[in-house]
Amino acid sequence: MTRAKGPKYQVYFRRRREGRTNYAKRLALIKSRKTRMVVRKTNSSIIIQFVNFDFNGDKTLVTVPSTKLKKLFSWPAKRNVYTAYLTGLYAGKEAKKKNVVDFVLDVGLHQPTKGNVLFAALKGALDAGLKTAYSEEMIPAAKLAAPPDAIKAAFEETKKKING
């Protein structure tokens, strides 16, 4: 088997080869010159960060994993719409303390679909008082308006604690 060599062979950036970064999307978000709200899903939790671009490397202003809700408010840190909303709400409150007013949503390589947990986190940040351009149809408003009876009281109580 021959190896690829010579001037026509191009090696892409490491993070692109690993399938971790879409540099075209990243460049478009950075060109906006706004703070990015980075939402990442893991198998069991959600991580929200507010990040500013810097030539020496991105500067993270706020990081809130959904596991923090379990420690602070005894909310079960599952990966669902309600946890995403509360995590976005808490991250938005923390970002306001760091003088973040408006932002751009960065979902990375996740597929943006209607009612996704990514947009529940966005709704939480918007309810915290931050501003961004978004499509109303992507927000899971029906789910957030009527949580199941089993968690409704805990959801409202945690929401009140975060809002202060």
Cβ pair 69, 87 in contact under 8 A: yes
First-residue to last-residue Cα distance in the chain? 65
Question: What is the tens place of the pLDDT at every residue in 1-15?
Answer: 667 677 777 888 898
Cα distances from 73 to residues 23, 53, 76, 141, in angstroms, run 37, 31, 9, 23
Question: Mean pLDDT over residues 123-132, rounded?
Answer: 94
Give the chain's domain count.
1
Q: Quote the domain boundaries for residue 34.
A: 22-163
Instruction: Indicate whether 161 pLDDT > 70.
Output: yes
The whole-angstrom separation of Cα 123 and Cα 114 is: 13
Question: Mean pLDDT over residues 82-101, rounded?
Answer: 95
Cβ pair 122, 136 in contact under 8 A: no
Mean pLDDT of the chain: 90
Question: Mean pLDDT over residues 14-40, rounded?
Answer: 89
Q: Is residue 121 part of a domain?
A: yes
Q: Is residue 2 part of a domain?
A: no
pLDDT of residue 1: 62
Report the percent of the chain where pLDDT is more than 90: 56
Q: Is residue 5 part of a domain?
A: no
Q: Which residue has the higher pLDDT, 67 or 77?
A: 67
Q: Is residue 9 part of a domain?
A: no
Phi, psi of 136 (to 5 degrees): -60, -30
Helical residues (DSSP H) of 3-148, grouped into ranges: 14-17, 23-31, 67-73, 81-97, 117-127, 141-145
Q: Is residue 100 part of a domain?
A: yes
pTM above 0.75, yes or no: yes
Q: Is residue 17 part of a domain?
A: no
CA 71 to chain centroid: 20
pLDDT of residue 9: 76
User: Percent helix, strand, coil in the chain (nearest 5)?
Assistant: 45, 15, 40
CATH at 43 = 3.30.420.100
Q: Is residue 8 part of a domain?
A: no
pLDDT of residue 129: 94
Question: Mean pLDDT over residues 51-70, rounded?
Answer: 94
Q: Is residue 14 part of a domain?
A: no
Question: Mean pLDDT over residues 27-45, rounded?
Answer: 92
